[in-house]
Structure 1
Amino acid sequence: MSGRLAGKVCVITGTGGSIGQATAWLFAKEGAHVVGCDIDPSAAEATLAEVRSKGGSMVSMHPCDLTNPESCRELVDLAIRSHGRIDVLYNNAAMAYFAPFSSMPDSVWHSTINEELHLVFNLTRAAWEYLSRQGGSVISTASTAGWIGHA
């Protein structure tokens, strides 16, 4: 790899899932110091072990509930304690709930908004002070359901 992220500190959420795991490994392979998190401790630990076994730099916070602003601050604190700054925030974590629109319970709607939007807001706000100092970047992923819809 080209080392395009050499020395960059990259916070990646949802590192226990397939996309987060692949992102953590690719960023580390490009030279980044990865700070990961996931709500699933065993999945997060597996990613942490894999990245480190391949020579990558990674620390992880798990379990990490990003719907809780305090957990977001703790993740940011881990990045700052470990590396002194944040260059990239990669918002990948999400929970998927699917139901036909006409029969979707209010509780499912509220969970979707909380776990798809609020967690991105909570973590981006917690990291903003450090990102803005570095001229950092925020990357937020979304599913194809945002384009296609499933009514």
Structure 2
Amino acid sequence: MAQISYPKPPFPEQPQNQQPGHTRPMDPQPDHGEKSYKGAGKLTGKIALITGADSGIGRAVAIAYAREGADVAIAYLNEDEDAKETAQWVEQAGRKSLLLPGDITDPAHCRALVAKTVETFGRIDVLVNNAAYQMTYDSLEDISDEEWDKTFSTNIGAMFRITKAAVPHMQPGSAIVNTTSVNADSPNPGLIAYATTKGAIQNFTGGLAQLLAEKGIRANGVAPGPIWTPLIPSTMDPESVKNFGSQVPMKRPGQPVELAAAYVMLASDEASYISGATIAVTGGKPII
């Protein structure tokens, strides 16, 4: 199979003023596997709930899961246009989709996500905790208490609440996949709040794997490096966006589709003895 040539920096200036950003204004456009991902029935008949599934990594995972045979509940904040596009790709794969907008910093909404998924599909076989918030700051003094709390509530607080609500509806053989980051092991000082939550996610996932083993539920993480998603132009300064991904050995950001295989494998029955693991998808930058 021929190696796909993905874009390398420098990238054009493309500021987005609203977080967590939108897909259509991005240049180059991210590849979520719309044309390239081919399923092989690895998730046939499964029900998946994916947070942050409107765009970026979440969209790529939703497309891959649908093409592998899963129905997908698409949780997102308020990016309705992006989320509807994701739902269309899921349905084009012959699977059912469910759109679930709302703010996961609200504990009641976290529980509602699970309740609506179970009401529609009857159960949850795969939970992908992927939604995240970040913002870049040059100094500690610039980070307000509210900003710190919002980052933690979005990235790790919601993960705890959604997982706690979902586990009673998961049968033996089910899987939880949490999105951590290369920042968990090699924190970017400009993303200190975000990086700290990613370290917490890695720890949460390791503990969760041990806690849920007796229930037959697996928990693993995926640690992305720099990935070309709407979060980048909407949360980083123009110079960082221009050179995004140049710091890793492959000298480019990863595309969302390049993470899909890791999420599929961890959700599949083929990974029945994998729990408490973290898969690095970092463009050659090792994690410890």
CA apart distance, 1:77: 1.8
Instruction: State the AA in 1 paired with 2:169.
Output: Y
State how far apart, in whole Å, the 1-side matches of 2:145 and 2:138 are. 12
CA distance in 2 between partners of 1:142 and 1:101 (Å): 23
Q: Which moved more, 1:73-82 or 1:19-28?
A: 73-82
Map of 1:123 onto structure 2: 162
Matched, 1:85 2:123: yes
Asked whether 1:98 is paired with 2:136, we answer: yes
| Residue 62 (structure 2) pairs with residue 24 (structure 1) | yes
Residue 114 of structure 1 aligns with which residue?
A: 153
SS in 2 for 1:148: coil
Give the deviation of 1:101 after TM superposition. 5.0
Q: Give the alignment's TM-score, normalised by structure 2.
A: 0.49
Question: Partners in 1 of 2:158 and 2:63 — Cα distance?
Answer: 23
C-alpha distance in structure 2 between counterparts of 1:23 and 1:74, whole Å:
22
Q: Which has the larger radius of gyration?
A: 2
Task: Please give the residue correspondences for 1:66-77 in structure 2 after superposition, counting only pairs within 5 Å.
Answer: 66-77=104-115
Q: After TM superposition, which residue ranges in structure 1, 4 or more long, deviate above 4 angstroms?
A: none
The gaps in structure 2 that reach 5 residues or longer are 1-38, 190-288
Instruction: Find 2:85's aligned residue among 46, 64, 68.
Output: 46
Q: Determine the C-alpha separation between the residues in 2 that align with 1:106 and 1:74.
A: 27
How far the C-alpha of 1:23 sits from its partner, in A, is 0.4
Q: CA deviation at 1:85?
A: 0.9
Once the two structures are aligned, what percentage of the paired residues are identical? 32
- Cα distance, 1:61 vs structure 2: 1.0
Structure 1 residue 114, shift from structure 2 partner? 1.1
Q: Give distance in 2, aligned partners of 1:54 and 1:5.
A: 13
Number of residue pairs aligned between Structure 1 and Structure 2: 149
CA contact (8 A) 1:35 1:58 kept: yes
**Aligned with 2:81: secondary structure?**
helix
User: Gaps (5+ residues) in structure 1?
Assistant: none
| 1:127 CA displacement | 0.7
Q: Distance in 2 between matches of 1:28 and 1:17?
A: 15
